[in-house]
Structure 1
Amino acid sequence: MGHNAQGAMHTHVPFREVLDQVISFVGLLDPQGCILDVNEPALEIAGISLNDVLGRRLDESFWFSHDLIEKRRIKDAVLRAQEGQRVRFDATARVAGGKTIDIDFQIAPHYAETGELISLVPSAIDISDRKATERQLKAAQEAFESAIRNSPFGVMLFDKELRVKVMSKGASAVFPDEDHVTGRDMYSLLRDMWPYDFAKEIIGNYYHVLVSGSPVEVKNAMGIRADTGAEEAYDYRLERALLPDGTYGVICYFYDLSERRSLENEVRESEQLFRSTFENAAVGIAHVARDGTWLRANHKLSEILGYTPAELEQITFQDITHQDDLDADLQLLEKVIQGQIDDYVIEKRYVHKHGHTIWAILSVGAVRNDDGSIERFISTINDISAQKEAESARDMLVFELNHRVKNMMATIQSVASNTMRSSSSYDDFKESFSGRLQAISKAHDSIFKSPDQKVDLMEIIKEQFEVYLDLDAARLEFTGDPITMDSQAARGMGIIVHEMVTNAMKYGSLSNDTGNVTVSWALRAQDNGTGVNLTWKESGGPSVSKPDNVGFGSRLIEILVEQRLGGSMNRTFSPDGLRCDISFEVLHGTTELSGVRL
């Protein structure tokens, strides 16, 4: 089973090409956890070839063998996937040059229709930017508080409630018992130290700075301490500061003016470092209220969601979360509120301002008050829409591969049956059947010609009917204008005709000895020679009726007509045979009419 899975990935060129376009790690393991295949980007970033890892256990591969802990985690994930679990966690992977990157790793089992485990599918995306941003934010917060704590001068940081948050070493001369001071509100602290009128004036200055944002500087503030009776004088300066949790507080500097300026610059640089990290991060970052209101958002989040920061402040995250993902998000958020978990990561969808869907990995943590209640949430949003589009294309190609193999078998069976009826001997059958198999192979190969070629529409259609040209050519008629199609449109048209030929052989006019197929097309003059009307008409076959369910092949035809050709189609199921009208645009065409009957 593993050998077949590997062969399928190597021989189906479009499927392999799409995997190689996926920017993340995508691989395929046999049921024992040994590597069958890995996409090209994963090999390139590691600087290795497929032969270097082929047949190795994933935990023994280049990416994870560098670290004993990572090896054990990957090995455990493979064992759990073998038991039917989908496993996901953050890990590190080795890349070229001995470096490591942060990844979001996932592995899932893949089963046959019989329920048999046939393969394991590991995948990973690079989350180094997100991890780096989280580390930078933490470092910025630590640097900000450390700059204050380690200052030899008197510095105190107050939170939005004007409670003491951080106190410097230099402030210990005034407040020797740091544990007694930290967490106290400024009102009670000052009223214990100074007479009422003196304390009231200082408290008023704190309020003014917190509300207005304008700094206050007072020199030679002199008073008699209420607690000690000593006369003391201070120069102090109050400034409003943006704290790492997104709220505003107040910094008080009380020391000699000449010494103060050096420390002011250091603390200001620390605050600017935090602000710069927040605003210039490679991922979206936001502060969110408990009710879901956006309190603050960086430029990257505005870019991801399409809303300006001011527009986000007027809505909640619930307003722009995809309805199918909202309940799961809110359930996890409630667990954080209840203290059951500290944070969570979820893959979810947002609705962009312009209406389209944005896939993202959301990481949410909480900032709590002293009593444990939620003050606000800090959210990190990483846009993975491009990755999701690549995964969708990969899944589509898997379905197409499965469908195409079934169609090929049905085509071969039909050709074998028709060849047997028309052959006079075994040798005659062998020669005819071999030639028709080669014709089928040629028709299949023609779909995937060089991307630089331009192909005539008549040639595209004839190649897909190649197997019938010597089987019963009189049953086919092709008539139309000479039209040249570029490679992308030609490939799409080749698949469309291939699907319709297969359906005609399985269910339609080519499934018996009497049916016929006519394909005709013409340029539309009203579209300046770029529009084409094509009609497929079957007759003489079994009676047909509109099917109850639309199969994958029919859906594939519709998708290719609309997306690859930019057109539309209409099917008519009449008792005498199927009629399909397709209207599409081409980039190349001539107006000279020609026809051919085969």
Structure 2
Amino acid sequence: MLLTNVLDALPIPVAMLDREGRILRVNQRLLDVSRWGADELVGQRVLDVSRDFGGPIHQHVQTVCRSGEALRGQVLSGAITRDPGLRRTWHVDFSPLHDDHGELAAVLMVMQEVTEQLAREQALTDNLAHLRRVLDSLFAFVGVLQPDGTLIEANRAPLQAAGLTWDDVVGRKFWDCHWWSHDAGVSERCRDSVRRAAAGETVRFDVPVRMAGGELMEIDYMIAPMCDEQGRITHLIPSGADITARLRTEQGLLRSERRFRELFESVPEGLAVVDEQGIIVQVNAHMERLCGSSRQELEGSPVHRLIPARFAAAHSAHMAGYWTRPTPRQMGERILWLQRRDGSELPVEAGLTPVPSASGRQVLVTLTDCSQREAAKAQIEGALKEKTVLLNEVHHRVKNNLQVVSSLLSLQLRTVPAEVRQPLSAAQGRVRAMALIHQLLYEGKDYAQIDLTLYVQKLLRLLRESHVPAGAPIELVATMDPVPIWLDLPRAVPCGLLINELVTNALKHAFPETRRGQVGVVLASTGARARLVVRDDGVGLPPEVRFEDHHSSLGLQLVPLLAEQLGASVTLHREAGCSFEFEFAVQEAT
């Protein structure tokens, strides 16, 4: 009875079996777990009671009976209950029991369920395996050190990158491993980081480590302590990530920034970067010279300090409008004024170019000093004005002098013999033709060219007034292009003299004895060339008269000379009167 009470008090299943594996006694815990009654188990062979456990239990009982020695920690799995689907795992101990004579009387079977424990251990094993696969898939170095710096764990990637095996590194001091051995200073720095991490500090720095073939790789290295639940440092966790690409990018950015700075400083214009709030972020050396202020004074100050007070309000409005639609703008069409440190003002041209920035919208302001150009412009304008006045005066005086000559000839004509009057009258006509050119230059304020159409109209009016008496049966007709035909001054004089000579000659000789007739002048342009025709329907030139002949009249002798000066071709037509046709180059209006 006492034995039964003792067995029932145990929290684990217990059974006693004889040599044949027959159940002699079970405790209450075994009955609870198996869901069998005592009368269903006691006296039964274990082979007949449990299909899963019967065979193994019977074998272990036989082993104990033969050897007389206990069997510990046997693992049995299966269904111990009436429900065959409820499978559990047990650790089972088998111990021999002897009678008073030392003979083996029974075998004691003690069972302890380990189903959940094994499941937890398996889950832990699976998790560790998964963690190992994850770490091994990373190229970053991850390891585990003992607090004294001994490497006890490392993932696969850094081993492969360095051409190492597990045995090459595990169990060695971390700073003595291949990665750090290329430089004594680097190795010592690693050792110092381990010491500091063992004292509770997290250490991080960039460092070159050795890979396979002696190649160096720059890594972002970090080592941190790992503590248990009580806060005690149990391990150190070193890690490292390849930053070669990052460093290459950073170096490229540094080179780019250096080139930008060199370019920024070398530009011969004043440059300033201004943010959206109107604060000067950066200036170059030329901007310092333009403003008469140092870089330290300008950077960080508001840009309106560079604007004269009278323009401040307008500048603020312009900048506010610019930021609503920031686009590249050139302001070369007008001069702006820069307020310098000494209070003086400098004429400048400005350009605005929006630039991207991580710190917000910014604009690059480009200022060009216009003081020398404006001074040169004022000097040129002054010289041009002076030249204009001078040319105006010259042409005015030439016109007046020619008019004086014409008047003197008129006075002379009153007193000279009849045979002299004709050449003097012709000379007076030539003088008037030249005077008219200078008059048009003076009136038109263009001293390089004249409108040939307007000139011919005015010249014909003069010739009509001086050579065609009122009521005379002769018409003087002009046919002109409606657009101006421009001719430069050096060729305008021979052109005017040509028209004067030919029209005067026709009026004097083409219509004898009050014969009725018409003298016409045609002026037309065809692109860059002009066509001038002077014709009459009078008696025409006698066949023996040639204008190239030196025995002809002075007027006809002048025709080829004047045409050569004009650069014109000459064609003479003798049908139905007389017609001189000239073709010559003209120019566009300037």
Q: TM-score, normalised by structure 1?
A: 0.34
Report 1 or 2 for greater relative contact order, CA contacts < 8 Å, sequence distance ≥ 6.
1
